[in-house]
Amino acid sequence: MGALTIHSLFLHQTKSGQADKTPLRKLLIFLFLLCFVQAFAQPEFDKRLSFDEIQALLKDGISPRDLRKQAMAWYHWAYYDEEQTGLPDSAFQYLAHSVALFAQTNDTFAYQRARADLADRLAARNLSDEAIKMQQEALEYFRRTGNLRLETHLLARMSRVYLNKGENEKALALKRAFTIKNGVLKDTVLAIAVAKYEVEHDAQLGKYAFARYGASNALRLAEQIKRNDFITWGQFSVGYYSLLDKDYKMALFFLKKAERSAPRSNLQMRRDICRQMSLTYEALDSLPLALRYSYRAAEISDSLLIQEQQAALHRLAFQFDTHQKRIEIDLLEKEKSAAQEQSKQQQLGLATLGVALAAVLLALFFIVRDYNHRMRVNKVITAQTEEINQQKIRDLENTLKIETMQSMLAGQESERQRVAQDLHDSVGGLLAAVKIQLETMTAKKPERAQDEDWKKIRGLLDETVAETRHIARNMQPSALMEFGLVTALRDLCNRVHGEGVPHITFQHFGEFANIDREIALNCYRIIQELLQNTLKHAHATEILVQITQTDNQLALLVEDDGTGFDPQNTQKGMGTDNVARRAQFLKGELSVQSSKGQGTSTLVTVPLSETQGKP
Quick one: 510 and 572 in the same domain? yes
- For the cut 70, the answer to whether the pLDDT of residue 425 exceeds it is no
Q: Decide if 196 is inside a domain.
A: no
Quick one: 279 and 387 in the same domain? no
The answer for 612, left when phi > 0, alpha when psi is -120 to 50, beta otherwise, is alpha
Average pLDDT over residues 567-586: 73
Q: Decide if 48 is inside a domain.
A: no
Quick one: 378 and 314 in the same domain? no
Average pLDDT over residues 300-304: 81
Read off the pLDDT band of 547 (50, 70, 90).
very high
Count of structural domains within the chain: 4
Question: Which residue, of 397, 418, 437, is where some domain finishes?
Answer: 397
* Domain of 366, in residue numbers: 324-397
What is the predicted pLDDT for the residue at 577?
77
What is the predicted pLDDT for the residue at 543?
92
DSSP for 209-220?
Answer: HHHHHHHHHHHH
Quick one: 336 and 452 in the same domain? no
Q: Decide if 269 is inside a domain.
A: yes
Q: Decide if 311 is inside a domain.
A: yes
- For the cut 80, the answer to whether the pLDDT of residue 280 exceeds it is yes
- For the cut 60, the answer to whether the pLDDT of residue 74 exceeds it is yes
Average pLDDT over residues 433-459: 70
What is the predicted pLDDT for the residue at 39?
42
Quick one: 562 and 601 in the same domain? yes
What is the predicted pLDDT for the residue at 471?
66
Question: Can you give the CATH number for the domain in which 526 is found?
Answer: 3.30.565.10
Read off the pLDDT band of 34 (50, 70, 90).
very low
Determine what percent of the chain is predicted with pLDDT higher than 90.
Answer: 3
Average pLDDT over residues 381-399: 77
Q: Decide if 457 is inside a domain.
A: yes
Q: What b-and-e string marks burial along 432-448, b requiring 16 or more CB atoms within 10 Å of the CB?
A: eeeeeeeeeeeeeeeeb
Average pLDDT over residues 24-46: 50
Quick one: 422 and 541 in the same domain? no
Read off the pLDDT band of 326 (50, 70, 90).
very low
- For the cut 50, the answer to whether the pLDDT of residue 386 exceeds it is yes
Quick one: 506 and 565 in the same domain? yes
Which residues, other chains included, contact 306 with Cβ-Cβ below 8 Å and sequence gap of 6+? none
Q: Decide if 95 is inside a domain.
A: no
Average pLDDT over residues 388-409: 68
More confident residue, 279 or 267: 279
Quick one: 606 and 487 in the same domain? yes
Question: Can you give the CATH number for the domain in which 293 is found?
Answer: 1.25.40
The answer for 609, left when phi > 0, alpha when psi is -120 to 50, beta otherwise, is beta
Of 7-11, 15-19, 557-561, 609-613, give the lowest mean pLDDT range.
Answer: 7-11
Which residues, other chains included, contact 391 with Cβ-Cβ below 8 Å and sequence gap of 6+? none
What is the predicted pLDDT for the residue at 604?
92
| Cβ(34)–Cβ(23) below 8 Å | no
What is the predicted pLDDT for the residue at 22?
45
The alpha-carbon radius of gyration of the chain (Å, integer) is 31
Quick one: 418 and 496 in the same domain? no
Read off the pLDDT band of 15 (50, 70, 90).
very low
Read off the pLDDT band of 611 (50, 70, 90).
very low
**Using CA atoms, how far apart are residues 206 and 18, in angstroms rounded to an integer?**
13
What is the predicted pLDDT for the residue at 7?
33
What is the predicted pLDDT for the residue at 1?
33
Question: Which residue, of 265, 294, 319, is where some domain finishes?
Answer: 319
Question: Which residue, of 261, 295, 319, is where some domain finishes?
Answer: 319
What is the predicted pLDDT for the residue at 16?
38
Quick one: 505 and 588 in the same domain? yes
Q: Decide if 419 is inside a domain.
A: yes
Quick one: 602 and 509 in the same domain? yes
Average pLDDT over residues 326-344: 69
- The CA–CA distances, whole Å, from 72 to 40, 63, 106 equal 15, 15, 14
**Using CA atoms, how far apart are residues 271 and 294, in angstroms rounded to an integer?**
9
* pLDDT single digits (tens) 134-164: 888 888 888 888 887 777 778 878 888 887 8
Could you tell me the sign of the dihedral formed by the alpha carbons of 385, 388, 390, 393, in that order? negative
Of 23-32, 241-250, 553-562, give the lowest mean pLDDT range.
Answer: 23-32
Quick one: 384 and 425 in the same domain? no
Average pLDDT over residues 372-379: 84
* pLDDT single digits (tens) 465-524: 666 666 655 655 666 777 788 888 888 888 776 667 788 898 888 887 778 878 888 888
**Using CA atoms, how far apart are residues 95 and 76, in angstroms rounded to an integer?**
9
Model pTM score: 0.37
Average pLDDT over residues 181-202: 70
Q: Decide if 295 is inside a domain.
A: yes
What is the predicted pLDDT for the residue at 226?
80
Read off the pLDDT band of 329 (50, 70, 90).
very low
